[in-house]
Each structure stands twice: as C-alpha cells, then as structure tokens.
Structure 1
Amino acid sequence: MTHTLDTSSPLGTFEEHSPSQHFEHVLDLVAERRQEFEEKRHVPGDVIAEFKKAGIYRASAPRRFGGEPLPPAHFLRLIERISAVDGSAGWVASFGSSLIYLAALPLETQAELYADGPDIAFAGGLFPVQPAERVDGGLRIAGRWKFASGSKGADILGVGVKVEGDRTGRPRTALLRPDQIDIADNWDVIGMRGTGSHDLIVDGQVVPEKWTFVRGGEPTVDEPLYRYPVIPYAAQVLAVVGAGVARAALDQVIAEGGRASHTGGPVAADRASYRITVGRAEADLRSVRAFFYDITEQVWATVERGDAATPHQASLLRLASAHLAKTSFEVVRSAYQLAGIRAIVDGSPMQRYLRDASVVPQHAFLQEGMYDGAGAVLMGTQPFPGYL
C-alpha cells in the first residue's frame, strides 16, 4: 500500500511533512489494524510504540531534553494523514502534541520525566476537577475523571485537581504513573471507538507538587513551540482529525461515482445532483483547510521570531478549529448521503466515517460556542471566561 501524495493533493507531499521514514509504515499499520482498534476500543501499546518510532510522541518534547519539536502546521498535517486512514488512530496520535502542557513543569521535573528519552505518551482525564488535599510529601488525590483518550497506551497520565487554599482560581494537573491509576473500561460510544477514552480512578495517591502544573501555565522552557498558544493548539490537533476523516469519506464517494445503482438507474457520476454535491463538498473542505493552515502559519511566524501571539491570533486559531470540525462533519454527512443504502451496513467504511466525524465537533473546544467567542474578539468585546 502506498500513501505518498503528489503535489496536487489537498494534504500536500508526504516527503515534505513526515518527521521520519517510519511514518509511511505507520499508515500501512493503521490501515491493517483499524478494525482491531474499533473492536478493542483502544489503540494497543505496540502501535503506540510504532507512533513513537515515527517521531509522533517527541514532536512536542523540548529540544533541550532530546525532543524534536515540530512546527504546528507540520504536526497537524501528520495527524490529518493518519486520520484519513483511521480517525481513532489520528485522535490518539494527536496527543503527541500534549507535551507542550508539561513545559510548565519545573525544569528539574522535566529532566526526570525525559531521563529515559523524549518519546513520552501522555494522556489526561482532566474533568471533572477534583479537590486535592495538601499533606506531607505533596497532594493527596482521589476521584474519578472522564475522557482520558489514549489512556491504555500512556507512559504518564494527568488528572485535574483544585488545591485547597489555592486562590489563583486555576485548576492544576497532577501527573501519575500508570501503576497509580485504575482505568475503568467504560468507553461505550457511537464514534471514535478506538480512542480508549476511558475514565481514570485514583484512590488516595500522594503526588509531589513539583509533578503538578497549570494547564496553559507559563512554560519554564524557552523554545518557539512553547510560545504558541497552548489551548488553541489543543483544539487544532483534534479538529484536524475531522478533516482527515472528511478527506477519506469524500475520496470514497468520488471513487464510487462510476458504480452502478442497485435499482438499475444511471451511475452516480452521470447524475447532476451527485456531481454538484461532490463539487460543493470539495470546495468546502479545501476552503476551510486553507483558513486553518493559513492562520496556523501566521501565528507560528509570530512566535518563531520571538513575539507573543496576540489575542486576535489566538482567537482565529480557535475559530478556524471549530469551523474545520463543523465543516468536516458536514462534508462527511454529504458523502454518507451520496453513498446510499450501502453506507448503512455494519463494517461499511462510510458508516465509520460518519460516526467518527460526528464526535469531533462535540468536543468542548470545538462546539458552536467558539463562534460566539470569536465574534466577541472580532468586535472588541469580552469573550466568555476561558475562551482566551
């Protein structure tokens, strides 16, 4: 199976965007095992190991600790490529970006974290935020947290806590080893079944405060990637999964345009309604991707030259992400309708595309409210709390 793209492809060239020659193997592996991910409801550890070999999990580790941080647009295109093969695999791989959060840890803690190398798979169940009690040795943590995507393949996991007496008003993330956490196998969902986004349960573990950080807090590492807006980037890596799924769905109905109808009617490519829908969907997907990657490159140029991203730029990143998630789902829905009765069968790729794409705009970072926040910033009024 070959995944190299020519320069006319909407995803660009593989050679330009891959961090290693191993990436092509990863695409083949995901294609071979995507049904397994669906059935097991997680991406197994041996596949995570292959992601690491491809550089996915060192893509946001600090260079000073052996990482190979990638410019955001570069990393996003990698996730989009994986997602075009399987949405769940792309979603799990997208958390290769999450080490940017951990750049807010004390430097000595980061040195310990990366002592054995930069290929760290992080998973977090950050909500609902639970109270943490100060005790000798750190914070005593207990509770249950939801939506810990990739938890079964993680090297380190985070949970959201509110420390008693902390008047900053900002929750912290406490880091624990897998052997300190129980994973509740409860990921029973309609789409993105392979992400393994199970609940995390902690029963009275004590975590030293140096192993906690404020998500989106001031980084202790001074490298360009850690000046890029953290929360908008977290939205981007998820939104681009939808774009990959949409590309796969649209490519399928384009390829099937010459197939005969079950009813004996004209082939799809001979019907104006089919051609019009394909053309509109192609224009919509390419247009929203152009906005998404254009603002990504603009903000990266800003932080790379040493300046801080402006609130306007950060807001445009959030707007582009929400709009990409929404538009990608609409493209997949159009493709599903074009695919006809074949799409309803269990095991149909189109059925999985629809289910997976429907999940992306449901994420809190990508819901309709982001348009409200973006509109507020554009008009110079105060957006809702937490938007920026």
Structure 2
Amino acid sequence: MTAASPTDFAIALNDLIASIPARSAEFEAMRRIPDDVIAQMRSAGIFKMFVPEEHNGLELDLPEIIDAVRRLSCADASVGWTTMIGAGSALFATMLPREAFQSIYGVDENAIIAGSTQLLGVIEQRGGVWHGKGRWPFASGCHHATWMLGFCRLVTEGDEAGPHKVRVVVLPADRWTILDTWHVPGLKGSGSDDIVLNTPLDPEIDIFDIEGTQPWQKGPLYAGVPHMIALLHAAVSLGIAQGALNDLLAIAASGRRQQRAAAPMRDTEAFQRDLGKVHADIRAAEAVLQNQTQSHWQHAQNQTLATDALLVEGSQSAIWVVNQCRRAVDELFALGGSAVMYDSSPLQRRLRDIHMAAQHNLMQPRHFVKSGKLLVETFESAGVH
C-alpha cells in the first residue's frame, strides 16, 4: 500500500512491522537493508514523515513520528536506525536554503539523504576552480540514499591561515564513493559505511552555509531541528529495549528451565522479581520519552521550542532514556542465561544493537554537563539561597 494519508500510513506501517522480524538475520548478513524492504518502506511513507505536505509529504505530528520509529526499532533495530536517518534527513534538509530543498524533495518526496556532520572534508578554491574532498564514517543508509552530504572546512585562495569556515556539500549519491567498512558487532543492517568525496564543485548549487540560517519552512514540525533529532535516538533505544523484553518473555513462555533449576524460569520468584524490576525501568524510560516528546511538541505548536534551554532539556532526557535502555537490555540478557548466547538469539542481537546505538556521540553521558551547568546558572540567577 502506498501511504497517501495518515490512515493509509498507519495501515502500511503495521504491514511493514509484521514483515520485518523474520528477515533480521538477512539484514545482518547483508550489512544493509535489502532493496525490496527499502521499497516497502518508501511505499509505506516512512521517509515522508518529516517531509512538508506542500512537497507531497505526510508532515506527521512529532509524537506520531517518535512512536513509528520506536515500533520499527522494536521490530528490528537496523530498520529503526535506517528510519531515523532516512526520515530525519528531510528534517535536517529544512536547514538548507529553500531552493536546495526543492531540488531534492521537489523531484522525489521519498528522497533519502545520507552523510555525516563530522568536519572531515575540505573545500578548496584555487584559480576560480572549486574542489571538494574528504572521507566520512558512519554514513548510515548510504547504499539506498539518493543524495549525500558532508561537513567541510572551506579554504579559499589567499585565506589559508584564516579561521575555518564550515560549509556543507550536498550532492547526488552517484557523485560519492562508498567504502566497505561497516564490520561491527551491532546495528549491522544499517549499512553505515564510509563515504568518500573527490570531485569538482559548483559553489552556487553544491555548497551551503547553514550557520545562523533562519528556518523558512512553516509549521511546528520544523520549529527546532536539533531538539527533535535527540528524541529520535531515544525512540530507537526504547524500541530495542521493548523488543528485548518481548524476546525474554517468549523464552520464559516456552517453559525453559535453566540447568539445575528447581522450576521453569517463568515460575521462579527470583526471575519474576528481576523481570518486574527491568520492566519498571523500561516503563520509566517510555514515560520520560513520552513526556519530553509531548513537551517539545507543545512548545513547537506555541512557537517557543527554539531555545538553548529546551535543547539541553531534550538532550538530557534522550541521553537518560538511551542509557536506561542499555542497562535494561544488559539485565534482560543476563536473565536469559545460556539460551541467549548464540548468534541465532534475537536477544543477543538486541544486546549488540543497543550498545552500538548508545555509542553515538549525541547520546554520551558526558553531555549531562550541559544540563548541570544550566541548572546551576538558573538557580543562581533566580537568587534563591
């Protein structure tokens, strides 16, 4: 089914989720999502969730998008990650000039942008000729991307010693080279290989300065791009944790009895106690994400989202959720015993996936320093002693 409306999207999403789990081993073996699954995701409207309606997108409400990412991640983490990157690329693209967005999504509302915000490229201008080169890791979804981007240092003739100027290169996918580097323990199916650029550039249509740009796309969904990206990461990790819980429950329901145990795991008080505790932890993570999503969405609708304080608040919530889910999956894996040690175990895959997801730079606990600093400054400015 091709999603032409939110109702069609809900039906297509359910169909997609039902078809995914049986193919997870295939995703891992290929180290990417197969083309036919990407085609099904396109047809379902997965990559149009953030695309404005005026560009034939779905422009869903933020809570709906977060929930879709969570559910897809519960079905398979690599599919959820691919959704976060592929759908979220439309959100990021609204930071580009309107003309650039139009050149991408005006032609294909299902366009997918892969790339990296790491400053690992160089744009050089010599004798009136512009050239871009660089290599970026972690370009998730690059194998099915229609466009790619990379952040670069701009070096112009006569200004080599000056301060670095940051520019973004955005080019069709066939202008880039993909290197086979994604040999990792988790999120194997995300196809997050390195991408390489070494090509002449047209400064009028290939190079963009997004520093300090004002959003041109109207609507609450575009009121704070960085604010919403953090919540997408939390949705992926929550989905992984919920999937891991379901995996363990399936093992317990099968009547499995661990060696030398007096009763099946499902009937032992120790298992029930530990399971109940982990379930509470996952429910707490879900509650935090839902609360932060609703808060951000309300602020977006009131046009009050784009503040540093709310960016820090959302990041704080997302980091806590991701790391809470990581700990929960660790505990679920331990409860599974020897049955979950093998590559064929879905719970073993969830363990690998959650640790990869939690390694993302944006989700590192060191960023809690920002919320702590803000808290101290707010307390002191209020004059409360």
TM-score by length of 1: 0.88
Alignment of 1:329 with 2:326, yes or no, is: yes
Which of the numbers 366, 370, 380 marks the counterpart of 1:369? 366
Give 2:279's aligned residue: 282
Alignment of 1:66 with 2:62, yes or no, is: no
Amino acid at match of 2:124: E
CA distance in 2, matches of 1:77, 1:99: 18
Alignment of 1:132 with 2:128, yes or no, is: no
Give 2:226's aligned residue: 231
| Aligned residue runs from structure 1 range 133-282, under 5 A | 133-134=124-125, 139-164=130-155, 171-211=166-206, 212-214=208-210, 217-228=213-224, 230-258=225-253, 259-265=255-261, 266-282=263-279
Offset, 1:249: 0.9
Contact conserved, 1:84 with 1:248, CA < 8 A, in 2? Answer: yes
Amino acid at match of 1:355: R
Offset, 1:154: 0.5
Alignment of 1:91 with 2:81, yes or no, is: yes
Amino acid at match of 2:238: A
Runs of 4+ in 1 over 4 A off after TM superposition: 135-139, 165-170
CA distance in 1, matches of 2:94, 2:163: 19
Q: Cα distance 1:286–1:106, how it changes in 2: closer, same or farther (>3 A)?
A: same
Deviates more, 1:84-93 or 1:251-260: 251-260
Contact conserved, 1:285 with 1:328, CA < 8 A, in 2? Answer: yes
Q: Secondary structure at the match of 2:138?
A: strand
Q: Cα distance 1:46–1:203, how it changes in 2: closer, same or farther (>3 A)?
A: same
CA distance in 1, matches of 2:212, 2:83: 20
Offset, 1:47: 1.6
Offset, 1:81: 0.5
Q: Deviations over 1:46-70 (max 9, x none)?
A: 2222112211111112233222212
Which of the numbers 354, 366, 376 marks the counterpart of 2:351? 354
Q: Cα distance 1:309–1:219, how it changes in 2: closer, same or farther (>3 A)?
A: closer
Q: Deviations over 1:60-96 (max 9, x none)?
A: 1223322221222211110111111110111001120
Q: Cα distance 1:144–1:279, how it changes in 2: closer, same or farther (>3 A)?
A: same
CA distance in 1, matches of 2:306, 2:265: 47
Q: Cα distance 1:98–1:250, how it changes in 2: closer, same or farther (>3 A)?
A: same
Offset, 1:115: 2.7
Amino acid at match of 1:199: D
Q: Secondary structure at the match of 1:186?
A: coil
Contact conserved, 2:231 with 2:293, CA < 8 A, in 1? Answer: no
Q: Deviations over 1:337-357 (max 9, x none)?
A: 010001111211111010001
Q: Cα distance 1:17–1:263, how it changes in 2: closer, same or farther (>3 A)?
A: farther
Q: Secondary structure at the match of 1:21?
A: helix
Q: Cα distance 1:267–1:170, how it changes in 2: closer, same or farther (>3 A)?
A: farther
Offset, 1:169: 6.0
Contact conserved, 2:48 with 2:109, CA < 8 A, in 1? Answer: yes
Amino acid at match of 1:246: A
CA distance in 2, matches of 1:157, 1:125: 9
Give 1:11's aligned residue: none
Offset, 1:149: 0.3
Q: Cα distance 1:301–1:85, how it changes in 2: closer, same or farther (>3 A)?
A: same
Contact conserved, 1:17 with 1:77, CA < 8 A, in 2? Answer: no
Offset, 1:28: 2.5
Alignment of 1:310 with 2:307, yes or no, is: yes
Give 1:54's aligned residue: 44
Offset, 1:168: 8.4
Contact conserved, 1:101 with 1:216, CA < 8 A, in 2? Answer: no
CA distance in 1, matches of 2:57, 2:222: 13
Deviates more, 1:119-128 or 1:313-322: 119-128
Amino acid at match of 2:48: R
Q: Cα distance 1:50–1:252, how it changes in 2: closer, same or farther (>3 A)?
A: same
Q: Secondary structure at the match of 2:214?
A: coil
Q: Cα distance 1:160–1:309, how it changes in 2: closer, same or farther (>3 A)?
A: closer
CA distance in 1, matches of 2:54, 2:182: 37
CA distance in 1, matches of 2:298, 2:188: 36
Offset, 1:135: 5.9
Unaligned runs of 5+ in 2: 1-5, 379-385
Q: Deviations over 1:124-145 (max 9, x none)?
A: 1332422212368884211111
Contact conserved, 2:116 with 2:137, CA < 8 A, in 1? Answer: yes
Contact conserved, 2:154 with 2:164, CA < 8 A, in 1? Answer: no
Contact conserved, 2:94 with 2:101, CA < 8 A, in 1? Answer: yes
Give 2:295's aligned residue: 298
Contact conserved, 2:258 with 2:265, CA < 8 A, in 1? Answer: no
CA distance in 2, matches of 1:216, 1:225: 19
Q: Cα distance 1:207–1:197, how it changes in 2: closer, same or farther (>3 A)?
A: farther
Q: Secondary structure at the match of 1:219?
A: coil
CA distance in 2, matches of 1:287, 1:366: 18
CA distance in 2, matches of 1:295, 1:309: 15
> % of aligned pairs identical?
26
Q: Cα distance 1:204–1:294, how it changes in 2: closer, same or farther (>3 A)?
A: same
> Which protein is bigger by CA-based radius of gyration?
2
Q: Cα distance 1:18–1:252, how it changes in 2: closer, same or farther (>3 A)?
A: farther
CA distance in 2, matches of 1:248, 1:273: 22
Contact conserved, 1:139 with 1:209, CA < 8 A, in 2? Answer: no
Q: Secondary structure at the match of 1:214?
A: coil
TM-score by length of 2: 0.88
